[in-house]
Amino acid sequence: MGAVRRRQPDGSWQGVQPRDYAAVPGVVRHELIGAPHYRVRYFEVAPGGRTALERHAHDHGVVIQSGRARVTLGVERHELGPGDVVYVGPDELHCFEALGDEPLGFICVAPPAGRGA
């Protein structure tokens, strides 16, 4: 069955409990949709913060929503902003860092938990 989750004035979503992300300070994860083939999450990174520099078997589809990002993608680095899109391939090194004074917000799509390939 379908569902609507309205964004709240505080930046969270109805019915979605914000969670810490892998014990990285300043990064909060919101699990927006858990569907059979994919998950849709929203991450917010505090100014000056960054997600873990990591690689893993599952891929990511990212759309920047707000703020400025320095994105590590394999051996490359890119400075990106709202509307820009990143595909992180399987086992590709990646990190999202918030530049400037504004939090970095991005949508991150991933396969369902446990389907890494």
Tell me the three state secondary structure of residue 44.
Answer: strand
Name the burial class of residue 1, with classes exposed (0-12), middle (13-18) and buried (19+) by CB atoms within 10 angstroms of its CB. Answer: exposed
Tokens, residue 116: 């890494």
Q: Which of 53, 54, 78, 100 binds its own copies (CB under 8 A)?
A: 78
In this chain, which stretch among 18-26, 44-52, 83-91, 96-104 interacts with its own copies, using CB under 8 A? 83-91
95 assigned to active site: no
Query: Which residue is catalytic, options 71, 88, 108, 110?
Result: 108
Taking CB under 8 A as the criterion, the residue among 46, 47, 56, 59 binding its own copies is 59
Is residue 54 within the footprint of its own copies (CB under 8 A)? no
- Least CB distance from residue 60 to its own copies, whole Å? 9
Q: Which is nearer to its own copies, 23 or 35 (CB)?
A: 35
* Min dist. Cβ of residue 85 to its own copies (A): 4
Matching residue, tokens 């369902």? 112
Q: How far is 60 from 40, CA to CA, in rounded Å?
A: 10
Rounded to 5°, the CA angle 74-106-22 comes to: 70
Q: Report the alpha-carbon angle 66-62-56, nearest 5.
A: 130
**Contact region with its own copies (CB under 8 A), list: 20-28, 29-37, 44-52, 96-104:** 29-37
Q: Which residues are catalytic?
A: 108
